[in-house]
Amino acid sequence: MFLRTSSRRRAAASVAAACALAVTLAGCGGTTKKDSSSDNGGDVKATDAKANPDAPLKKGLKLAFLPKQINNPYEKIVDDAGIEAAGEFGGKGKEVGPSDASASSQVSYINTLIQQRQDAILIAANDPNAVCGPLKQAMKKDIKVVAYDSDTAKECRQLFINQASSEEIGRSQVQHIAEQLDYKGEIAILSATQNATNQNTWIEFMKDELKKPKYKNMKLVKTAYGDDDDQKSFQETQGLLKAYPNLKGIISPTTVGIAAAARYISDSSYKGKVVINGLGTPNQMRKYVKDGTVEQFSLWDPKKLGYLGSYAAAALASGQITGAEGEKFKAGKLGEYTIGKDGEVILGPPTVFDKDNIDDFDF
């Protein structure tokens, strides 16, 4: 259920997509399982250690945030909030990361963080498998690993801090645009990178949602990839609109993609004719809502995601939790959270933003 504020509210690619859904639903096998018996020291299970719920948070914990890429405004909000939260419990946070969101771009950073003996690595994974071996190495050296925003395979981290239920995010993207289009017409998806675990998981749920009879007059014609790069996303939007003259809507489940698509449409003859919906930040989308290019979009509070991730990493590094289902921990001012199946912790429902509430938000 979505909240409104106040009272309401490709070969590798297809493997990656299937794997991404598996990460969320049942964990991902393939490369990562093989990795575990080869060069990475084997699996580290949450149950290897015993949780002590009364253990105080350790002082001086070193937490490293490794976003998909450093120049993504959304990831920056998440990480800054996580770093600030670390200050609350006497820890020290930092953000390091690549300037592009390609599959293997994070590997060298993980290796460096291991050498630096960080207490925890928090990662928004660009690929479910590419980062797995190094993350297992980290866990073997007792560095806690928390995925946030975009998961890796479940055996490659202790926790996944999910912004909201992946199924809810995916299905609702279709539900929202369908209502706007009166359940008719061609739509396209403008995604992030081809390997992004989070987007691929959401897209699988979008496709599943579209199979329902009520969407029989809607057709997903193409999924394009803007790589979470502003310029590429802008060009892909232009390409979609040229290639599909009957396109009625674009779902962009990425803050980079939706902002670039809105910018293109706002200054084109498609404005008011092609619906754009998806996931964006209010500050990036405000002008497009105000000028009528975009009616609505969704997101969760990225600051809370970073904050929760920070406290979860600290609870792990302090021995309060091990990542096992059912364990509980306190996330500062956000209160208590319980670890779900496969080490997943869900922040909470997203918010739908439109002209009525967008000015209530500043991020």
Nearer to ligand RAM, 185 or 226 (CB): 226
Render 126-188 in DSSP notation, one character per residue. SSTTTTHHHHHHHHHTT-EEEEESS---GGG-SEEEESS-HHHHHHHHHHHHHHHTTT-EEEE
* Nearer residue to ligand RAM within complex by CB, 121 or 317: 121
| CB nearer ligand RAM, residue 46 or residue 279 | 279
Q: Does 32 bind ligand RAM (CB under 6 A)?
A: no
Among 150, 166, 195, 200, binds ligand RAM (CB under 6 A): 150
Distance of alpha carbon 68 from alpha carbon 100, whole angstroms: 7
CA dihedral over 70, 76, 80, 81, signed as positive or negative: negative
89 vs 109, beta carbon nearer ligand RAM: 109
Compute the least distance from the CB of residue 152 to ligand RAM, in Å.
13
User: Can you tell me the distance from the alpha carbon of 139 to that of 146, in angstroms, rounded to the nearest whole number?
Assistant: 10
Binding mask 198-217 for ligand RAM (x = CB under 6 A): x-------------------
Please say which residue, 149 or 209, places its beta carbon nearer to ligand RAM: 149
276-335 positions binding ligand RAM, by CB under 6 A: 279
Report the site for ligand RAM in 248-267 (rule: CB under 6 A).
254-256
Minimum gap (Å) between residue 78 Cβ and ligand RAM? 9
Query: What tokens appear for 250 in the block?
Result: 């674009």
Q: Are strands 159-162 and 344-346 parallel, antiparallel or unpaired?
A: parallel
Minimum distance between the CB of residue 204 and ligand RAM, rounded to whole angstroms?
Answer: 15
> Which residue lies nearer to ligand RAM by CB, 62 or 157?
157
Q: Are 226 and 239 in contact (CB under 8 A)?
A: no
When asked if residue 68 is in the footprint of ligand RAM (CB under 6 A), the reply is: yes
Q: Which residues of 16-171 form beta strands (DSSP E)?
A: 62-66, 92-95, 120-123, 144-148, 159-162
CA 10 to chain centre: 20
Contact indicator for 81, 343 with CB cutoff of 8 Å: no
149 binds ligand RAM (CB under 6 A): yes
Give yes or no for residue 158 binding ligand RAM (CB under 6 A): no
Please select the residue that binds ligand RAM; options are 110, 124, 159, 181, rule is CB under 6 A.
124
The torsion angles phi and psi of 254, rounded to 5 degrees, stand at -150, 135
- Min. distance of Cβ 141 from ligand RAM in angstroms? 27
Quick one: which of 151, 228, 229, 236 contacts ligand RAM (CB under 6 A)? Answer: 228
Residue 108 in contact with residue 134, Cβ under 8 Å? no
3-state class (DSSP) for residue 332: helix
CB of 198 to ligand RAM, least distance (A): 5
Task: Provide the minimum distance between the beta carbon of 293 and ligand RAM in the complex, in angstroms, as a whole number.
Answer: 18
The least distance separating ligand RAM from the CB of residue 137, rounded to whole angstroms, comes to 24
**Encoding tokens for residue 40?**
């990475």
Q: How far is Cα 196 from Cα 102, in angstroms, rounded to an integer?
A: 9
Of 68-76, 87-95, 153-161, 214-222, which part binds ligand RAM (CB under 6 A)? 68-76
**Residues contributing to the site for ligand RAM (CB under 6 A):** 68, 72, 74, 124, 149-150, 192, 196, 198, 228, 254-256, 279
